Amino acid sequence: MRPRVERAAINGNSAAAGIEGSTADAGQAGRVVRLVHSSDLHLGMDEARHGLGVLESVLRTAEDARADLVVLVGDVFDHNRVALDFLDAATGLLEAAGRPTVILPGNHDSLVPTSVYRRGRFAEVEHVHVIGLTAEERVSFPELDLEVWGRAHFDLWDMTPLRDPPARTQRWLVAAAHGHWVTGPHDLHRAYLIHDEQIRATRADYLALGHWDRWTPAGDGSVVAYYSGSPVHAKSVNLVELGAAEGIRVERVPVLEGRA
């Protein structure tokens, strides 16, 4: 039996969510693009709880959802000391899945010289794109009329995840950022800050956020923006439909069990 899908009030025209709709024309003719957004898998932190089954669960959920694209927004790995055989197994899962995947390195798996992404075979897997490594900041999918933009963490120093967003070159613009959404002055002491005005400035159709373990909407409603939460703690991923009847629809979908 398939797990129940929890549909929150999170579609492109939801007054309850405070979302006014997509910056792209939802009525434009064309296919619905489906993507799965997840983050903070923290693979390698604890083999018993954060083994490869977590990644397999996300990939199986994307397959079940018939997603066109998977977007993993930072801290896919808990640290950059993960053993090579573990990295080989992880890239093997991504390779076997055969699904276009964009990875944005976060603060735990940043692109330092000894990064998991530099040591592993990620750059060798044709359909896996690591922002900051295999692509500078933007990954384009012409067949979907979609691009993913984000700023990778290159070290542990503070950075601004949504600095200088680009103008779109495709119909759909998905932004990705790994950082802390500022909800008030009490957040200003934290690192990797994301402000409402920066979210607004992306003019993205969907902003995929990582860094928080819990699922939650973010921003002031001008852009459809969500944290997916960790699949370990939130036990879900975000299934995003671009071009749905409502414009943009986001569903919180329970993760399927992995076999690893």
Backbone angles phi, psi at 148, to 5 degrees: -115, 130
Note the pLDDT tens digit of each residue in 134-170: 999 999 999 999 999 999 999 989 999 999 999 999 9
- Orientation of helix 84-97 relative to helix 52-64, angle to 10°: 10
- In this structure, the number of other CB atoms found within 10 A of the CB of residue 75 comes to 26
Mean pLDDT of the 180-206 span: 95
Q: Mean of the per-residue pLDDT values for the chain?
A: 88
d(CA 109, CA 114): 10
Q: What is the pLDDT of residue 195?
A: 97
Q: What is the pLDDT of residue 177?
A: 98
Secondary structure of residue 20 in the 3-state scheme: coil
Q: Flag the least confident range among 182-186, 208-212, 249-253.
A: 182-186
Domains of the chain: 33-254 (3.60.21.10)
Note the pLDDT tens digit of each residue in 16-61: 233 334 444 444 456 899 999 999 999 998 754 457 999 999 999 9
208 compared with 11, residue with greater pLDDT = 208
Note the pLDDT tens digit of each residue in 118-141: 999 999 999 999 999 999 999 999
Question: How does residue 247 score in pLDDT terms, banded at 50, 70 and 90?
Answer: confident
Assess whether pLDDT exceeds 70 at residue 73: yes
Mean pLDDT of the 187-200 span: 95
Assess whether pLDDT exceeds 60 at residue 70: yes
Assess whether pLDDT exceeds 70 at residue 12: no
Q: What is the pLDDT of residue 244?
A: 79
Assess whether pLDDT exceeds 70 at residue 172: yes
Pair of tokens at residue 194: 């994301």
Pair of tokens at residue 44: 């390698």
Q: What is the pLDDT of residue 45?
A: 85
- In this structure, the number of other CB atoms found within 10 A of the CB of residue 30 comes to 13
HSE-CB for 10 with a 13 A CA cutoff: 23
Q: What is the pLDDT of residue 14?
A: 31
DSSP state of 4: P
Q: What is the torsion angle, in degrees rounded to the nearest 10, for the CA atoms of residue 127, residue 131, residue 137 and residue 139? A: 10
Q: What is the pLDDT of residue 258?
A: 59
